[in-house]
Amino acid sequence: MTVRIDDIEYEADGRRMIGRLAVDDSSSERRPGILLCHEGPGLDDHVKGRAERLAAMGYVAFALDYHGEGRPLPFPEAQARLGELIEAPDRTRAIAAAGLDILLAQPQLDTTRVAAIGYCFGGSMVLELARAGADLKAVVGFHPGLRASPDSVNIRGSVLMCIGVDDPILPPDVRRAFEQDMIDAGVADWRVELYGGVGHSFTNQAVDQFGLPGFNYDARADHRSWRSLIDLLDEVFATA
């Protein structure tokens, strides 16, 4: 197996984006694809590594860029940009759709079997992409942002959100509002997994160095949430 890594330039939101494509070149067979959306600071080694990991499992993986230049922003700048995007779901959806277009253009891809996963605000982004009606078999968020939306009625695929109980960004009332949103929208298959004693960014081993209260890597939750992702992908792609 030979995983090929390409950095792909494209334009979205008036910026030059640089995403990371990872694909196994040893087979010409068309295969499922995964769109990955990074955490709030920017496209980093964490999500790039996840793309390579998925490619080694036989998926076509593309990690989009939603800040520009394919790299993290200084923390204050990233916070300001996230503040803008949180209040502009149509803009968020357009950025996600631009990344999805790159994935869909890959010749190895089976376009009938596509999923999207996201970390932190990237989790919000994949939800907004699904709410825009994208043909996604599954959307998965890890320590995601959760907001209710009347457009959740447009979600076609399975929804899995993986959350730490002690995540300061996702208190119980926010989780309950999201659950009610899924119910009210009639989403056919949705699930929220909660991990006790776990905070935000629990999948990212680099987060501890920042010393942010409630932001901690947790190896067990990371492993369990990844296993849940793979099980769901196996399920939805087998029936696609």
For each of the domains in the chain, give its residue range(s) and CATH number, in order of start.
Answer: 3-238 (3.40.50.1820)
What band does 78 get if pLDDT is binned at 50, 70 and 90?
A: very high
Digit-coded pLDDT (tens) for 2-58: 899 999 999 999 999 999 999 998 888 899 999 999 999 999 999 999 999 999 999
According to the model, what pLDDT value does residue 57 have? 96
pLDDT at 240 over 70: no
When pLDDT is averaged across residues 75-83 and rounded to a whole number, the result is 93
Residue 216's pLDDT band (cuts 50, 70, 90): very high
User: pLDDT tens-digit profile of 173-188?
Assistant: 999 999 999 999 999 9
Is pLDDT of 62 > 80? yes
What's the mean per-residue pLDDT of the chain? 96
pLDDT at 150 over 80: yes
Per residue in 80-95, pLDDT tens? 999 999 999 999 999 9
23 in Cβ contact with 106 (< 8 Å):
yes
Model's pTM, two decimal places? 0.97
Confidence of residue 75 (pLDDT cuts 50, 70, 90): confident
